[in-house]
Amino acid sequence: MNRTRIKICGLTREQDVDDAVAAGVDAIGFVMYAPSPRAVTVERAAELALRLPAFVTPVLLFVNETSEAIAHACVQVPGAWLQFHGDETPDHCRKIARTLGRRWIRAARIPLETPAGEEAFDLLKYAQDYSDAQAVLLDAHVDGYGGGGKTFNWSQLPPNVNAHLVLSGGLNAANVTDGIRALRNHGHSLAVDVSSGVESAKGIKDAAKIHEFVRAVRAADAEHPL
């Protein structure tokens, strides 16, 4: 089976971490951006990350954070990947990741629609600019940072992106199968990242929704066995 990797982001509670692990996810995201309703402190992220078994990866999400704060977080959460979700430049991401010896993901903020007369978001150039990243995460561009539970138009993306891709932005059990079908062969590989789509309230995950989401991803994978 062509297995799509799954990340659940914005976890704040022990039971949610345990539920996600039990469902079979591959990565857990902790939001290190204080204005977010899903934000946790570095100390809290470290506590929650201790619950992760082998081969489930913690990911620390930062928005325009200082190098010092990122380094401190990495000390507290060994082995975590970095996810840059703000206005960080390629050189900034590259320098931090190399200095700390961490793998990293760069979020691309895809406009919900392209106004008439304006050029569409150039994902090919973006992937080239951030070619040192382990993956490019595709999220909807809304006010502030994060996708806001919005889904962008998947059909606007080019079919030949030179990067591993992570589909995000407004995903849930009802639409993730369509998202995987739409973007399965657009990059080197495809993973999915969900937050609000498996919640009962902001920052509060729902075990049933997590399991339903994972089942939907596996159903999409079963359509294209290796």
Catalytic residue list:
9, 139
- Residue from 160, 98, 104 nearest 134 by CA: 104
Distance CA 159, CA 78 (A): 35
Distance CA 150, CA 39 (A): 19
Q: What is the DSSP letter of 203?
A: T
Distant-in-sequence, close-in-space partners of 4: CB < 8 Å, separation ≥ 6: 180, 190, 191, 192, 217, 220, 221
What is the CA angle 95-96-101, rounded to 5?
Answer: 100
For residue 191, the cross-strand partners are 5, 166
Cβ pair 161, 131 in contact under 8 A: no
Distant-in-sequence, close-in-space partners of 68: CB < 8 Å, separation ≥ 6: none
